[in-house]
Structure 1
Amino acid sequence: MKRFSIGYRTLKTAIGATISIGLAEYFGLDFFTSAGILTILSIQTTKKQSLHEVYTRLLASIIGMIMAFLFFEGVGYHPIVLGCMILLYLPILVMLNIIPAFVSSVVIILHIFHTGDFTIALLKNELSLMLIGFGTGLALNIYMPDIKHRLEQYLIRIEELYTAIFVEIEKYLRNGDTSWDGKELLEAVEVLNQAKSLAFQDVENHLTRRENLYYMYFDIREQQFEIIERVLPKITDLPVIVEQAELVADFLADMSQNINSAGNTANKYREKLEVVKAEFAKLPLPTTHENFLAMASLYQFIEEMDLYLAIKKDFKGISPSRKHFKKKSNAEN
């Protein structure tokens, strides 16, 4: 059973319904409780979603009122006429890709059907309900809680996990340690998914800003993680630990302690990889088939790490506050 909690969206929904119903009743509108329904439907998790919902529901309601006038006034206020109207109305909403707006628009349509007389007064009443209902929802959705602190927490955790993963690879290359259970890999997948979802929510809450550095950062880390998953089997299945493994281990030891988002030193570490390649060339050629396979795997690992770094070479970096976190090195890879 989940823990009982009241989130900000729940709180806004309750407050919004109360305000809109109170306003509709204060202005003496018929069906005033429907204003609360319209408010509840317009409160979404992000500002962009809320604007989109209000737009689509307003459009659907206007189309619904026009069709209600044509059908009810032209044919009659009868359940069969209502059914025929909905039979045509739904495909129109599907065609316009606004089918989620059906529920709120039906509220307005049923008001007209219940009244049995499409008058100017009724039209003003329904438009007023929409103004109060949708307007209250939009007004409340102007406020969205600051999620930067949570994004920073995810950022720090990703860096910690990547550091731990590279340290484990380094340990294996130095002494063949196979005690690692790989739990950091599973957690990294979960953290990346949650982080990207939260960062996208932040994008949706800024109506004019299209770029989000946190989303870009987590997307880059996700691409890098795909490389990590791809190269791990090549390293962990080495038939023997050859002399070249120490060179790769030294590189990973350096890189693992310099994973950070405050700057960008990808090119610096790509240059270090070139040095590792040069050192490879100076070492004796393999004398056995197993040694040859091990050297080939290590060299392929180096090439993949070059790609790992290249993915991030153009990223300008993030400078989070990190007030509540332990500081690491100012370098980044």
Structure 2
Amino acid sequence: MKIGLRTVKTAVCATLAILIASSLGLFYPTSAGIIAILSVTNTKRSSFQVGFYRICSLVLATCIAWICFKTFGYTPFAFGTFLVLFIPIAAAWKMSEGIAVSSVLVTQFLVEQTMDFWIIKNAFFLMFIGLGLSLLANLYMPNIEKKLKSDQVKIEEKLRILLYEMAQLFDQKSPELNTCDTLVVEVEEALKQGEIWAIQHAENQLLTQNSYYIHYLDMRHVQVQLLKSMNVLLHDIHFDMVAGKDIKQLFESTAETLSEMNDGQKIAKKVQDVYQIYREMPLPQSRKEFENRAKLYQLLTQFETFIKIKIEFVEQQELWKQGKKEV
């Protein structure tokens, strides 16, 4: 059995919340513990968002409860009326996170048969204690940037292997594409896992907006979709080494140099060189040769787009850095 960091935080916060509420002489101190349990989230930013919306929802709930209880008395019917009004309004104002907690606190008004200042103050103190401890606990989050960089290395290695395997298909008369198919699936899975970590990393930045890893993985995801399309196209190509050797060399060269720091400019220049070679080649002599040449040309244009995606990503990052320095 593995006990995670969030579990430890939740247990500690709930215990402290009950102890603090009890020491202050608050009624229903266990409610502070429940609020703490529900408020410990996976990221710093989500904790503050949840806290803000729960406080707002309690203000709204208190106002609606006051109207309902003063109109219908402290009865189950009044509480039901409160829920009918409170839930849709809270949901419409994007306060869904606070519906359950605020409703539980409102039941204290029903039990005590009053909405005097002391019981309202009691409810807000319970909320502040539970939320406050959960926010303090979530200020500590382990740095997962090392994990993200490790995922980057693994993804780039899989991409290099995929490009190399695609290049080797040009040497085969009847290529087996199972290796490439498997590699495409592996890269897609690695990207999905990486995106989960990248979002969590971004959500843990309170004072800065660092979405680099999200943008990086988005860029790689678009590239992989292109490679996936190119892999399908390779099923229909007759591997004529006279016409295809230059594309093969492009794939191999990219496989050797693909990395986070490579801006793609040199490969883009090589792509233009291959375009020029194709323009100077003798015209196809048969329909089959023409169709094959057209598919190779389509493969080349898709590969060019693959490289342009990285170039645009690098340019966007440079613009972002310049804008940040100017600010």
Shift of 1:11: 1.6
Deviation per CA, 1:267-299: give whole Å up to 9, x if none.
211101111122223333222222222211111
Unaligned runs of 5+ in 1: 319-333
Q: 1:213 to 1:272 in 2, by over 3 A?
A: same
Structure-to-structure mapping, 1:223-302, within 5 angstroms? 223-261=222-260, 263-302=261-300
- RMSD of Structure 2 on Structure 1 (CA): 1.7
SS at match of 1:313: helix
Structure 2 residue 129 is the aligned partner of structure 1 residue 132:
yes
Q: Structure 1, residues 36-93: CA drift from partner, whole Å, max 9, x if none?
A: 1111111111111111111111111111122222222343111111111211111211
Q: Take 1:240 and 1:210, find their aligned partners in 2: how far apart are those partners? A: 48
Deviations 1:122-152 (A, max 9, x none): 1221121111111111111111111111111
Asked if the contact 2:172–2:239 (Cα under 8 Å) also holds between the matched residues in 1, the reply is: no
Correspondence 1:188 to 2:187 = yes
Instruction: Determine the structure 1 residue equivalent to 2:321.
Output: none
- The count of aligned residue pairs is 314
What one-letter code is carried by the residue in structure 1 that aligns with 2:31?
Answer: S
Choose from 310, 313, 323 the match for 1:312. Answer: 310
Shift of 1:112: 0.9
Q: Could you say which residue in structure 2 is the equivalent of 1:115?
A: 112
Q: Alignment partner for residue 12 of structure 2, among 15, 21, 34?
A: 15
CA drift of 1:210 comes to 2.5
* Percent sequence identity over aligned pairs: 27
2:324 paired residue number = none
Asked if structure 1 preserves the Cα contact closer than 8 Å seen for 2:171 and 2:241, the reply is: no
Q: Does 1:59 align with 2:37?
A: no
Greater helix fraction, Structure 1 or Structure 2: 2
Q: 8 Å contact 2:191–2:221 — kept in the other structure?
A: yes
Query: CA offsets per residue over residues 167-222 of structure 1, 9 Å max, x none?
Result: 11111112344264321111111111111121111111112322422111111001
After TM superposition, the score normalised by the length of structure 2 is 0.91
Q: Distance in 1 between matches of 2:304 and 2:237?
A: 20
- Does the C-alpha gap of structure 1 residues 31 and 202 become closer, same or farther in structure 2, counting only changes over 3 Å? same
Q: Is the 8 A contact 2:64 2:85 kept in 1?
A: no
> Cα deviation per residue 1:243-284 (whole Å; 9 max; x = unaligned)?
1211111111111011111x2331211101111122223333
Q: Which amino acid aligns with 2:217?
A: F
Once the two structures are TM-superposed, the CA of residue 242 in structure 1 deviates from its matched residue by 4.0
Contact 2:44–2:205 (8 Å) recurs in 1: yes
Change (3 A) 1:179 1:234: closer
Matched to 2:292, the amino acid is: A
